[in-house]
Amino acid sequence: MNYDVIIIGAGPAGLSAAVYAARGELKTAVFDKGIEGGQMNLTDEIENYPGFENVVTGYEMGMKMKAQAEKFGAEFKYEEITAVSLDGYCKIVETANATYCARALIIATGASPRRLNIPGEARLTGRGVSYCAVCDGALYRDKVVAVIGGGDSAVEEAMFLTKFAKKVYLIHRRSELRAEKVIQNRAFANDKIEFIWDTVPNEIEGDPTVQNLKLFNRKENRAFELPVQGVFIYVGILPNNNLFESRLDLDEAGFVKTNELMQTKLPGVYVAGDLRHKPLRQVVTAAADGGIAGWSAEKWIEENDEHFPKGTCDIMKKHMR
């Protein structure tokens, strides 16, 4: 199956790229192995996206962006991509079901939650250990939970959890939060949240579900324990780069380097959103990246029209080899 543009990932960057590419009359397909929305689906409230003065859930935002892309003709395919070929004028994408070809590729696979890698974490994931308060928070009504981390996600999700839990401990390895000041101040004013500073988790205990957290205060050199029924881990994100890492320029953390047109070092291959090396990861910056990537892909296709082989995917595949 041939497309002008294939977009991998249906988070805000991929969806915005789809709006721009499809509106530019490119035959556009968006692939995602899950549902549209990406990490927005893990967010209860988006209150800083311009134009939405009333808080909107991440899920609603994803559905709206998808509907807009579909209105302009973008197709959505819920298939996991198993291999890609990024060279030449034909980009090839393979899934378990089929092979797809495109003139340009926009990679918007985003990032995933980082694990702590401490004893008990893997065993108790889904049994009290969670990386998504929006998905699991309601299970902790009147219970005591801990949130690990000091960034925007940890602090926002700690506040979300206070809707259900009777007590939320926010455990941070330093004595100062990394989160935005406005978010910090709301959390400091929330009397269901107790902050535990300079402390790292060493082990999560419980059988069959979480019962206890073993902690270590680094300033006081003191080990202690905290009985909790849930542990929500927000210690940063890791780039979803595994299909592309050997082919693209990465920063030291594995995020892809692009120029301001979202171009990678490979012609016709663009990266947008959280997977990109950038200073600010927000829905609005992902959407902006996506818009630029969709526009850049359109220009690339226009400028290179004479080079693209005509015909079916098979012909395109042969042309590549």
Catalog residues that contact ligand NAP under the rule CB under 6 A. 48, 116, 148-154, 156, 173-174, 178, 200, 234-237, 281-282
CB nearer ligand NAP, residue 99 or residue 282: 282
CB of 155 to ligand NAP, least distance (A): 8
Query: By beta-carbon distance, which residue lies closest to ligand NAP?
Result: 151
Shortest Cβ 280–ligand NAP spacing (Å): 6
**246-249 contacts, C-beta under 8 A, 24 or more apart:** 247/86
DSSP class per residue in 143-208: -EEEEE--SHHHHHHHHHHTTT-SEEEEE-SSSS--S-HHHHHHHHT-TTEEEE-SEEEEEEE-SS
Considering the complex, what minimum distance in angstroms separates the CB of residue 256 from ligand NAP?
16
Beta bridge partners of 259: none
Nearer to ligand NAP, 201 or 268 (CB): 201
Q: Which is nearer to ligand NAP, 73 or 151 (CB)?
A: 151
**Which of the residues are catalytic?**
132, 135-136
Q: Which is nearer to ligand NAP, 72 or 216 (CB)?
A: 216
> CA 221 to CA 33: how far, in whole Å?
45
100: tokens are 């797809």
Q: For residue 212, what is the enclosing H or E element?
A: strand 212-217
CB of 24 to ligand NAP, least distance (A): 29
C-beta atoms surrounding 299 within 10 Å: 12
Take residue 236 and report the two structure tokens written for it.
Answer: 């940063």
